[in-house]
Each structure stands twice: as C-alpha cells, then as structure tokens.
Amino acid sequence: MKYLSQILDIALRELGILWRNRIYGFCMIVFPLVLVVFFTTMLDEGTPQDLPIGVVDQDNSATSRGLIRNLDAMQSSRVVYRFANITEARNAMQEGKVYAYLYIPEGTSSKLMAGRQPKISYYYTMTCMTAGSMAMKDMKTIGSLGSAAVGQATLSAKGATPGQIKAALQPITVDAHMIANPQGSYNYSLTTVFVPGILMLFMALLSAYALGMEMKFDTGKEWLARADGNIVVAILGKYIVHALVFLLVIFLYQWYIFDVLHFPRLGGVWSIVRLSLLQVAGGLGFGIFAFGLMPSLRMSMSISSLWSVLSISMCGSAFPVAGMDAPLQAMAWLFPLRHYWMIYQATVLNGFPVIDVWFHLVALVAFTLLPWFVLRKVKNAMLNYVYIP
C-alpha cells in the first residue's frame, strides 16, 4: 500500500509537470495528431494517380492515337505533353515535368499491318520509384494490349469464340490475391509504420527529456524523496503518466485509421491492444536506458533522436532487412521499432498468431526491462550530478 500511494503521489506530481511544460502537450498530443493527418491526407490516393506522362508520336496514325488514348485512360497515367522528338521529351523529364514518355516511331501502324513487328519504346525515370514503376506498369499494359489487339483481330476473323480467343492470347493467367491490402495502397503500408515510428521517437526523446529536466532544474532530489529514495517506485510513478498519455494517443490514432478510414486488418482488437502496450513500454524503456547510459540531457536526447530516426529505415518496412548486409541485419535487433513492425504486420495486418513472432515480443519486453541495468546510475545522477549548460 505504501508503494502504491507513493506511486500515485509521484504520478500526480508528474501530471502537474506535463500540464505546466507545454512542450509535453505538443510532443505527446499535438504533433502526433498532426502527423496522423499529414500521412493519411498525403497518401489518400493509395497509389499515385494521373501521373504526368508525355508522348512522342511520330507515326500519327489511328493506331498510335488509339494507343495514346488507352494510355491516357489508365488510372495512374495522364498524357499531358506531346513532344516532337525524343530530345524534347528527355529535357522535359529532366525538368521534372513528366515521369515517363512513350515513343511511337514512324511507320509503326504500317509495319503492324504488314506483320513486320514494329517496336515502340517507353522511357521512365526511376529517380522516384513509386512514380516510375506505376508509369512503367501502365505502359507495359498498353504494349501488350497492342499486341493482343492484332491477335484478337486475326482470331475473330477466323471465327474463334471469345473464350477461345482469351485462351489463345493468354494460355496461362495469374490470379493475384493481395492479402490484407487488396488495393496495394501505400497509405496502408506507409502510414502504419511512420506514425508509430515517430510516436516511438517522441517516447524515447521525452522519457530522456523528463529525467534530464529533473537534473537540469535540480528537482531530482525532491522527486526521489517522495519515493523514499526507492528509484523503482520513483520511475514507475513518473512514467505511468507518460505511458497512459501515449496509450491514449495511440488508441485515438488506431481508432481513426481502422474505424474511420477503414484500413484493412485481419487481426482482432486484442492484437492491437497488446501491440500498443508493448510499443509504449518498449519506447519508454529505451529512452530511460539512453539517459542511464549517459546521464546528460543533451547527450541522451541526441542519442535517442539519432537512434529513433535511424530506426525508421532499419525497421525494414521500405527496404527489407533481409536485403541489407549481414552486420546490419544483426543490428536491426537493437531498434525497438523493428520489433514493433514485425509484430504489427504478423498479428494486426495479417492476423497470424503471436507465437510465430514470439522472439520480437520477447525483444520488446527486454527493451522495457533495460532501465533495470541503469537504475542505480540514474539515482546517482539525480543525487550527485550538477547540470552544466
């Protein structure tokens, strides 16, 4: 009971600190909510639509115009420029006006009629990979449709049925099942890692900040006195408030994406709650540990921020960890966000049992317990260190 009342006492004190120092309000609530709005509105299209594309039509025939019309009608592409030659088109690409262009040389339609296999080319820039690969996909479809049109005309002239034509043009088809993200939406895959990633950045930064500020304004002694010098009680009381505020924000974010925007998920509510608890505990644990390693406000915050920014790349949601060099694959284990994301995609997105990613769960629990190793150092810092600006 004594411990409980001490924890409550320190928690109330912490609540007062969070209320008075506006930085906490901004970093715990305002900035995360702004980020949720930022990413969900930014990626609202899901996949890029109507990318500006140019054409170089030197054939000027009904066939070439048909190809261009088809390209314009594709979902990701919009034909905005018609160039006289390749040089003009390349210049426009270097100026950032188009992401791709289709080149139809002179004589395409007459060669097609004569069965002399004309060649059209498409050029796309891969300096923006999402745009480049979307434009490429559309133009590839146009190219194979062009081929198919010829085959279809020949076959139907010979009297084949639609079913026969389909089988003859494409004997084997692929039936794709995009599990848990049937639209291939970037909103579903990017928002769900960047928002939690930046939230974990704030968790680590603010938990180091909270301890550092106690030292900076020399209130650490008073804080410890309230716990009768028991550092475990002091830490628990202090961070229970942080954890609750972060949990509230996380649940708000999850309610917004899953219930308002209807992001797909195959996992149940319990999988979300479990993940959120682990996320907050691991994130705070990492920040306290960073402060314990280097009990100085600026160094612990610098370490936390650099590590957390790095974790957004190291979690392997964009460029997979399996594609990195071996030492980096091992290092990926040291980033809490990596474990968060692995558990997220397995249990929440795909609805698989958590036992299949148990090692990531254990890792997050380990991050939660990391402060244990530095408790004495933190206490010592509070009692004996003097803040030097």
Partner 1 sequence: MSIFRNIREHFTDVLYIFKQELLQVIKDEGVLMFLVVVPLGYPLLYSWIYNNETLHETPVVVVDQSHSALSRQFINDCDASPDVDVKYYAEDLDEARSLVSRQLVRGIYLIPTDFATRVSRGEQSVVSVYCDMSLMLAYKAVYQTAMVEAGRLGAGINIKKAGNYTKREDAISAQPLAVDDVAMFNPSGGYGSCVLPAVLMLILQQALALGIGMAAGTARERHRNGQLIPADDPHYRGAYRIVWGKALCYGMIGAVAAAYLSMAVPAMFSFPQMATGWTLLAMLIPYTVASIFFGMTVSCLVRYRENVMLLMVFVSVPLLFLTGVSWPQSSIPGAWQGVSWLFPSTFGVRAFIRVNSMGASVSQILPEIRILWIQAAVYLGMACLVYRHQFRLARKYAND
The residue (of 224 and 346) whose beta carbon lies closer to partner 1 is 346
CB of 312 to partner 1, least distance (A): 6
CB of 235 to partner 1, least distance (A): 20
The residue (of 35 and 280) whose beta carbon lies closer to partner 1 is 35
* DSSP 8-state class, residue 101: E
The residue (of 74 and 297) whose beta carbon lies closer to partner 1 is 297
CB of 5 to partner 1, least distance (A): 32
The residue (of 16 and 151) whose beta carbon lies closer to partner 1 is 151
Q: Tokens at residue 244, please?
A: 């609750």
CB of 43 to partner 1, least distance (A): 7
The residue (of 331 and 375) whose beta carbon lies closer to partner 1 is 331
Instruction: Give the separation between CA 271 and CA 202, rounded to whole angstroms.
Output: 23
Residue that has been written with the tokens 């794709």 in this structure: 176
Instruction: Give the separation between CA 201 and CA 337, rounded to whole angstroms.
Output: 9
Is the distance from CB of 84 to CB of 106 less than 8 angstroms? no
Instruction: Give the separation between CA 169 and CA 389, rounded to whole angstroms.
Output: 75
CB of 233 to partner 1, least distance (A): 26
- Name beta bridge partners: 56: 83, 103
* Most distant pair of Cα atoms in the chain: their distance: 94
Instruction: Give the separation between CA 128 and CA 57, rounded to whole angstroms.
Output: 25
Instruction: Give the separation between CA 308 and CA 203, rounded to whole angstroms.
Output: 10
Instruction: Give the separation between CA 15 and CA 23, rounded to whole angstroms.
Output: 13
The residue (of 345 and 368) whose beta carbon lies closer to partner 1 is 345
193: CB partners within 8 A, 6+ apart: 312, 315, 317, 337, 341, 344
Is the distance from CB of 252 to CB of 337 less than 8 angstroms? no
CB of 187 to partner 1, least distance (A): 10
CB of 206 to partner 1, least distance (A): 8
The residue (of 97 and 376) whose beta carbon lies closer to partner 1 is 97
Is the distance from CB of 98 to CB of 81 less than 8 angstroms? yes
CB of 317 to partner 1, least distance (A): 7
Instruction: Give the separation between CA 205 and CA 304, rounded to whole angstroms.
Output: 6
- In the chain, the amino acid numbered 208 is A
Phi-psi region of 115 (alpha: psi -120 to 50; beta: other; left: phi over 0): left
Q: Tokens at residue 114, please?
A: 């004569």
CB of 230 to partner 1, least distance (A): 28
The residue (of 11 and 139) whose beta carbon lies closer to partner 1 is 139
Is the distance from CB of 348 to CB of 267 less than 8 angstroms? yes
Is the distance from CB of 83 to CB of 56 less than 8 angstroms? yes
Instruction: Give the separation between CA 217 and CA 241, rounded to whole angstroms.
Output: 20
The residue (of 5 and 41) whose beta carbon lies closer to partner 1 is 41
The residue (of 276 and 317) whose beta carbon lies closer to partner 1 is 317
CB of 28 to partner 1, least distance (A): 11
